[in-house]
Amino acid sequence: MYLRYSLLRSARAVQRCHPHSRLAHTSTTTKHTPPTTPCKQYLEPTHTAALTSLSQESKSVIDASAKYMLPVYARPGFVLSHGKGSYVWDMEGRKYLDFSAGIAVNALGHSDEGVAKILGEQASKLLHTSNVYHHPGATKLAELIVELTRKEGGLGLDATAGAKIFFSNSGTEANEGALKIARKVGKDRGGPSKSRILCFENAFHGRSMGALSVTSNPKYQQPFMPLLPGVDVARINEMAALELITNETCAVIVEPIQGEGGINYAQEEWLKAIRKRCDETGAVLIFDEIQCGLFRTGKLWAHSALDSECHPDIVTMAKPLANGYPIGAVLMRDAIAETMTAGTHGTTFGGSPLACAVGYHVLSRLSAPEFAQQLQESSDYLQARLARLTEWFPSLLEEQIRGRGMILGLGFKDTSIPAKVVNLARERGLFVLTAGSDAVRIVPSLNIGKEEIDQAVDVLESVLEIVTAESVA
């Protein structure tokens, strides 16, 4: 099938990819000579099921999955066995470079030794208590999140303002909690009719009934109608949204950078206008930073980079907080938190000693200045290499790379291409994700180095060569 490429796979082409790898081992200040042509080293698939017949062990996992597990995921035909750093291996021993990081979760990569150590130590000390009792881990992590937010800029916190945390087990539950809190604030401020919620097209907030009701995507919503009443839907960056924020609105929920929806930015001026309208009407502004927060953009919050005039009342977070151990959280200004009293909300598992110990460890490392510096350098390097793709493949790609930090997207002109790119990349040992209908999402671990970046972009270059050749054939 890829015969036509065999001629292209000359020694020269292979050599052209190698200098990237050599550079990976040099200091980050080393001057990089950018490649002048796309890499063609990965034109042939290396990781398809057809190449290596599956072991009995893998087959029995896949068969058992079909027999016993709800078929809500369309998984590829291999079974993951273990991981280290940015790499994972399947049960056949094939190695994959994971630029999906468990959907923007494994900020410190797979099998991190520090995380494993904390997990072991805390599990053998105090794993779960329920929220009936105090334990030091939750307050320690809550203090770290609030004080980092004050220091790095977020939630409009100044030196004197306070904030409170509620811990959940997932992003969906964090959003569910945020919506409930906003509903209660709405009732306090405007009575029972102040209950409407404004959300946005292409947003993703989760799959529970409340979170799903504000995830305006027919594919997810249609089978489960009726959902929450009183939800309005607008488009990000369109001023018409302001008209939907009325005295009956209790909450506006928005991702500062839409992740699942396509790596789309909410513009600062638009967010300021939304903030102002929320203040005029007494609506609570919720930023869902479950995917874009916690240093994925290079800063604590995606909104840390923005003027405090557009900061929210509530921020929700989850994914990387404990590097893959389940945890989520709702962070809110004191003025919002005061409506919540004992018994108004709760969870059995949320904020367990184990989840919080891991969260504290992970967040302490992510917030170290040298980590941010390294992340910035890697992000600059990755973006520079991705920018070449837009020059080399103008018929396929938009001119600009979407996103910032380590939440990046390649926007495609033809919506049939992103899923194809994800599959072709996986068949060459690289995990990336789609985003929305028209983008490939690149959300690797935050501690990746140049070597991984070079390998990933080399694979993408080869894949785009294939797609280009197919589209002109």
Ligand X SMILES: Cc1ncc(COP(=O)(O)O)c(C=O)c1O
| Among the residue ranges 166-174, 236-244, 270-278, 451-459, the one whose residues contact ligand X (CB under 6 A) | 166-174
Q: How far is the CB of 213 from ligand X (least distance, A)?
A: 13
Q: Does position 204 bind ligand X by CB under 6 A?
A: yes
Write out the two tokens for 69.
């597990």
SS (H, E, C) 171-224: HHHHHHHHHHHHHHHHHHHHCCCCCEEEEEECCCCCCCHHHHHCCECHHHHHHH
Contact between 417 and 241 under an 8 Å Cβ cutoff? The reply is: no
Indicate which single residue of 86, 172, 249, 264 sits in contact with ligand X (rule: CB under 6 A): 172
Beta bridge partners of 110: 85
The CA distance from 134 to 418, in Å, is 48
Binding mask 224-263 for ligand X (x = CB under 6 A): -------------------------------x---xx---
State the chain's maximal CA–CA distance in angstroms: 73
Indicate which single residue of 170, 264, 339, 462 sits in contact with ligand X (rule: CB under 6 A): 170
Indicate which single residue of 83, 85, 153, 171 sits in contact with ligand X (rule: CB under 6 A): 171
Report how many residues bind ligand X under the rule CB under 6 A.
15
Q: How far is the CB of 214 from ligand X (least distance, A)?
A: 10
Contact between 443 and 100 under an 8 Å Cβ cutoff? The reply is: yes
Binders of ligand X in range 101-120 (CB under 6 A): 103
Q: Does position 290 bind ligand X by CB under 6 A?
A: yes
Indicate which single residue of 102, 109, 154, 206 sits in contact with ligand X (rule: CB under 6 A): 206
Q: Which is nearer to ligand X, 205 or 450 (CB)?
A: 205
Q: Does position 291 bind ligand X by CB under 6 A?
A: yes
Contact between 186 and 250 under an 8 Å Cβ cutoff? The reply is: yes
Residue nearest to ligand X (CB): 171
The CA distance from 88 to 386, in Å, is 23
**CA of 45: how far to CAs of 42, 50, 309, 415, 426, in Å?**
7, 10, 50, 23, 9
Q: Which is nearer to ligand X, 206 or 409 (CB)?
A: 206
Q: Which is nearer to ligand X, 28 or 221 (CB)?
A: 221
DSSP 272: H
Binding site for ligand X (CB under 6 A): 103, 170-172, 175, 204-206, 255, 259-260, 288, 290-291, 318
